[in-house]
Amino acid sequence: MIDEQRALGRGWSFPPVFDNACQHTLQMVQGVQNIGQAIDLILQTPCGSRPLTPEFGSTLKNLMFRQLDERLQADVVRAVQMALKINEPRIALQSVTTALLPERATVLVNIEYLIHQTRLPQQHQYRFEVMGRQNLSTTG
């Protein structure tokens, strides 16, 4: 049987958190939690923002001023699929679906995937907040 924790990796928590500030020890995450945090990091990082790895990240930031509608949902699905296929080799995407939360100006992204090493199905949720025209108000 595969040791899941070792197979899936171990890394710093994101955002970095110190367990003990006096000893400067960082909190570590491993296994499925490590993959979940990696997915969040990939989706939050704009493509091109890292000079040494310009392909790392997603194009979601390009969509943040769009109107909250079905076209935006389709574009979010495509951006998430592309980003994870390029940047997260430990998983095989099964599906990416979205739900609009207009009262919060948010697209809720549901990601279902298999972990290559363990073949275990997993789910992850990501909240993509937009600032579309219908969400901006002016006072005058």
Task: Note the pLDDT of residue 140.
Answer: 47
**CB-side neighbour CA atoms (13 Å) of 135:** 16
Residue type at 74 in one-letter notation: A
CB atoms under 10 Å from CB of 3, counted, come to: 10
Edge-to-edge strand ranges of the sheet holding 121-129:
91-101, 106-115, 121-129
Please state whether 105 falls in left (phi above 0), alpha (psi between -120 and 50) or beta: left
Q: CB burial class (10 A; 0-12, 13-18, 19+) of residue 140? A: exposed
Distance of alpha carbon 13 from alpha carbon 28, whole angstroms:
5
Task: Note the pLDDT of residue 5.
Answer: 55
Task: Note the pLDDT of residue 130.
Answer: 94
Q: Which residues contact 9 (CB under 8 A, 6 or more apart)?
A: 30, 34, 35, 90
In tens digits, what is the pLDDT along the chain, a chain of 140 residues? 455 555 566 676 666 677 766 767 777 777 788 899 999 999 999 999 999 999 999 999 999 999 999 999 999 999 999 999 999 999 999 999 999 999 999 999 999 999 998 899 999 999 999 986 555 544 54
The CATH number fitting domain 4-14+28-132, selected from 3.10.450.40, 3.30.460.80, 3.50.30.40, 3.40.470.10: 3.10.450.40
